[in-house]
Amino acid sequence: MRAPILGALVSAQTKSFVIAGQVARNQVRSTMTRGRLITLAGVVAVLASLCATPSALAITYDAGADFSQTTNPNGVWSFGQYVGGTVDPATFSAYTVSTANFGPSASLFLWHGAGLDPNVGMTTSLTAVNDYGIDWQPGKIVIGPAGGPSVVRFTAPATGTYNLAANFAQVQGAPGEGATAFIFNNGTLLFTRQSVLAPGGSYFNPNIILSAGDQLDFGAFATSRSTQLSVTIGTGVATADFNNDGMTNLVDYGILTSNWLQTVPSLTLGDMDNNGVVNLADFASFRQVYHLVNGGSGSDLPAVVPEPSTMMLSVAAGILCLLWARKRARTTV
């Protein structure tokens, strides 16, 4: 019974390509009739657009961009807390109460439990606001951990390969007073550190395998001190295609190095880990992705960006030279 079905599928696919070819030819004729020059690249682009399938397109889930003021859970995202004041993913409970137009700016939206704390929230303002000593940035989720660990949970919609970039940044209190941030994968700890002032603590994984229903938890706990969370999860292995040409290559590496130690929009122009700053962590992540996409170890990349050990040796050498110069000056005197 499978042979006729297979034959029908092949026949249908063949017909689709014939139709696509006919449409392309008609577009070429129409263009030529209007007296415009059409190139081979244009024909290829037409055919590619006709033959592309939605399943081949990568999907990116962004906790900030997907934040909902009406539904929780909302698709793959849930906002809630670990009940009992302990860091235990098994006790996760989604928030059921929301408060809108909150705070001095009347722009805050919070998901929370019976009380306002703990909570997960965002400003609806198009510009940054500072309410309750918290720096609220447009489009950025803020985790309010007072009273118990507050959590943003991602539930994998399908089995497959995903890539993950997350950043926790302290947005309240003095330096060093940040909450403790964490990431769990189905109850197994992936990452933890104290959230610090921007650029904060980042986690990047270009190739993580998840089964449908698997849960990634991003959260923070403390007696107070809110934490900003930026997290994107994409389908497939991560790329580092900063110029959007469909490839991860030395051109993209050049973009990274040209923005070295610069502040850039998150996940663009060399930023791999969602913290908006291009640094050694991004270089290491780029090399990892370059290896996954192109093979090899990534060690063939030009040594434009110094390794940490090289930087430390340079600093040490500079200090020794300075000390020697001072000693020589004293001896001369």
Higher-confidence position of 317 and 69? 69
Q: How many residues does the chain have?
A: 333
According to the model, what pLDDT value does residue 326 have? 57
- In terms of Cα–Cα distance, which of 229, 213, 134, 201 is closest to 172? 134
According to the model, what pLDDT value does residue 21 have? 43
pLDDT over 80 at 1, yes or no:
no
Higher-confidence position of 204 and 324? 204
pLDDT 10s digits, 80-108: 999 988 899 999 999 999 999 999 999 99
Angstrom CA distances, 270 to 7, 8, 61, 128, 273, stand at 47, 47, 20, 24, 9
According to the model, what pLDDT value does residue 178 have? 80
- For 160, the enclosing helix (H) or strand (E) is strand 160-170
Higher-confidence position of 11 and 289? 289
Mean pLDDT for all residues in the chain: 78
- Residue 256 pLDDT level (bands cut at 50, 70, 90): very high
Name the token pair of 252. 């993209």
pLDDT 10s digits, 102-160: 999 999 999 999 999 999 999 999 999 999 999 999 999 999 988 889 999 999 999 99
pLDDT 10s digits, 54-65: 334 689 999 999
According to the model, what pLDDT value does residue 175 have? 80
Q: Strand 160-170 vs strand 134-136: parallel, antiparallel, or unpaired? A: unpaired
Q: pTM here?
A: 0.70
Least confident of 28-37, 132-141, 226-235: 28-37
CB under 8 A, 24+ apart: contacts of 260-268: 260/305, 266/167, 266/230, 267/165, 267/232, 268/242
- Residue 3 pLDDT level (bands cut at 50, 70, 90): very low
pLDDT 10s digits, 276-326: 889 888 888 898 888 888 876 556 676 555 444 444 444 455 555 555 555
According to the model, what pLDDT value does residue 287 have? 87
Q: How many other CB atoms are found less than 10 A from the CB of residue 166?
A: 27
According to the model, what pLDDT value does residue 225 have? 85
Mean pLDDT for the stretch of residues 29-41: 40
According to the model, what pLDDT value does residue 311 have? 45
Q: What are the residue ranges spanned by the domains of the chain?
A: 2-56, 60-235, 250-294
CATH class in words for 60-235: mainly beta
Q: How many other CB atoms are found less than 10 A from the CB of residue 208?
A: 17
